[in-house]
């Protein structure tokens, strides 16, 4: 299933996206696609209602309406750094032996096609296409990697935007300062449930002004999705609705091969089966 939120910012209405691209209204089941929805079996209720044909048409046209982030603001956004060997190399680092984690502020999460403002004083705003994982239930100290799948609500496209000077040069040793400017996590267009996704075999791509930048597959990840969820659960408690970004492949501006983003640039991102994004950048 594809779950989405359609409508103006702050007034999104939850939706089920059908195979033909039309949308159905989920307000008879939930007011929001949030942690409570996932924790309380909301996905199963939507599936049952869709099968029964009881969901009415959505008030917004999915083809023309603004698309919000598929989840309402998560309680946390956890990120995995340097999870592709080639990206670690272009960043000047060796592949990590242990999973690298940092965090973005939850208020960075915006819709997939929303305009993004380059922060004041930024000269090194960078793009990163990533597979996003949404947690479906309270998750702590999972006993085995194989048990991770039971705690995943779905997958989505995320642009893990970064300001590299803030992230690296004036970071104080931590990355989050350069990762948490407003709008630095365009997310969506949909949350796709795990039954429709082979998470470790997805093609990820990005373009800037129509020119190819990144083209890789999640099969190249150093740490798999299941390992990431298991590993993080050993150190912290993941909450339903939390978002995990799983790392980006090579092809970003930090490599030195491409210019950083400036006003008027357009970034497009795609993950097979999970949809596409398009953001215009303004000063």
Gap between the Cα atoms of 25 and 16, Å rounded: 7
pLDDT computed for residue 127 by the predictor: 98
Closest Cα to residue 197, out of 275, 277, 273, 271? 273
Q: 79: which strand partners?
A: 102, 245
pLDDT computed for residue 87 by the predictor: 83
Residue 80 in this model has a pLDDT that exceeds 80: yes
Residue 281 in this model has a pLDDT that exceeds 80: yes
* Arithmetic mean of pLDDT, 232-252: 97
pLDDT computed for residue 174 by the predictor: 84
Q: What does pTM read for this prediction?
A: 0.96
Q: Which tens digit of pLDDT belongs to each residue from 82-129?
A: 999 888 788 778 888 999 999 999 999 999 999 999 999 999 999 999
Torsion of CA 164, 169, 174, 179, to 10 degrees: -20
Which one-letter DSSP state was computed for residue 259? Answer: P
pLDDT computed for residue 85 by the predictor: 82
pLDDT computed for residue 245 by the predictor: 98
* Arithmetic mean of pLDDT, 216-227: 96
Q: Which tens digit of pLDDT belongs to each residue from 136-160?
A: 999 999 999 999 999 999 999 999 9
Gap between the Cα atoms of 183 and 199, Å rounded: 25
Higher pLDDT, 173 or 249: 249
CB < 8 Å & 24+ apart, contacts of 20-24: 21/62, 21/63, 22/57, 22/58, 22/62, 23/57, 23/58, 23/60, 23/61, 23/62, 24/50, 24/55, 24/56, 24/57, 24/58
Residue 171 in this model has a pLDDT that exceeds 90: no
Gap between the Cα atoms of 39 and 195, Å rounded: 18
Which tokens belong to 140? Answer: 């702590």
| Domain residue ranges of the chain, discontinuous segments joined by + | 2-52, 71-282
Gap between the Cα atoms of 80 and 180, Å rounded: 15
Q: Which tens digit of pLDDT belongs to each residue from 187-204?
A: 999 999 999 999 999 999
Options 3.40.50.300, 3.40.50.510, 3.90.850.10, 3.30.1330.60; CATH for 71-282 is 3.90.850.10
pLDDT computed for residue 177 by the predictor: 93
């Amino acid at each position: 299933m594809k779950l989405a939120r359609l409508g103006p910012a702050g007034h999104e209405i939850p939706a089920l996206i059908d195979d033909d691209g039309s949308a159905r209204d989920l307000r008879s089941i939930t007011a929001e696609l949030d942690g409570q929805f996932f924790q309380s079996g909301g996905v199963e209720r939507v599936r049952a209602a869709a099968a029964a044909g009881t969901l009415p048409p959505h008030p917004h046209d999915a083809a023309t309406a603004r698309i919000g982030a598929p989840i309402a603001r998560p309680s946390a956004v956890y990120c995995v750094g340097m999870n592709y060997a080639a990206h670690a190399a272009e960043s000047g680092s060796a592949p990590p032996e242990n999973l690298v984690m940092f965090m973005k502020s939850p208020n960075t999460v915006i819709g997939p096609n929303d305009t993004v403002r380059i922060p004041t004083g930024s000269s090194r705003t960078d793009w990163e296409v990533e597979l996003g994982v949404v947690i479906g239930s309270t998750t702590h100290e999972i006993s085995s990697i194989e048990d991770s799948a039971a705690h995943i609500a779905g997958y989505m496209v995320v642009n893990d935007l970064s300001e590299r000077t803030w992230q690296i040069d004036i970071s104080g040793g931590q990355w989050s300062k350069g990762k948490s400017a407003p709008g630095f996590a365009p997310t969506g267009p949909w949350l796709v449930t795990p039954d429709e996704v082979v998470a470790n075999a997805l093609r990820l791509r990005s373009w800037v002004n129509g020119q190819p930048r990144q083209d890789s597959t999640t099969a190249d990840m150093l740490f798999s999705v299941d390992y990431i969820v298991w590993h993080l659960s050993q150190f912290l408690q993941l909450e339903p609705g939390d978002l995990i970004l799983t790392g980006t492949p090579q092809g970003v501006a930090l490599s030195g091969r491409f210019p950083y983003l400036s006003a008027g640039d357009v970034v497009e991102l795609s993950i097979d089966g999970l949809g596409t994004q398009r953001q215009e950048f303004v000063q």
